[in-house]
């Protein structure tokens, strides 16, 4: 997990409900930029916001997209 990676918040084994971009990682916490959220952390919000998540308390799938050279 590193800045620039994407995360998917998993609801169940075959269902993901939210996504964002990781901007920093420190201990058990990631800072993210998330779309379609709000101050309460809804996945159906009205804004793009910076969020802080404890990744140990959520089921996240994380992936990287590497540029072709």
- The DSSP line for 13-58 is TTEEEEEEEEEEEETTEEEEEEEEE-TT--SS-SEEEEEEEEGGGS
pTM of the full structure: 0.84
| Residue extents of the structural domains in the chain | 6-63
Spatial distance between the Cα atoms of 62 and 9, rounded to a whole number of angstroms: 9
> Per residue in 4-29, pLDDT tens?
999 999 989 899 988 999 999 999 99
* Cα-based distances in Å from 59 to 24, 40, 54, 67: 18, 19, 10, 27
Per-residue pLDDT of 29-67, as tens digits, reads: 999 999 888 777 777 788 899 999 998 998 999 999 988
């Amino acid at each position: 997990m590193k800045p620039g990676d994407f995360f998917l918040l998993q609801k169940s084994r075959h269902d993901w409900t939210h996504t964002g971009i990781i901007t920093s990682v420190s201990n058990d916490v990631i800072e993210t930029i998330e779309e379609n959220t709000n101050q309460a952390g809804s996945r159906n919000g009205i804004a793009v916001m910076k969020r802080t998540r404890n990744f140990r308390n959520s089921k996240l799938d994380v992936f990287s997209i590497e540029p072709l050279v």
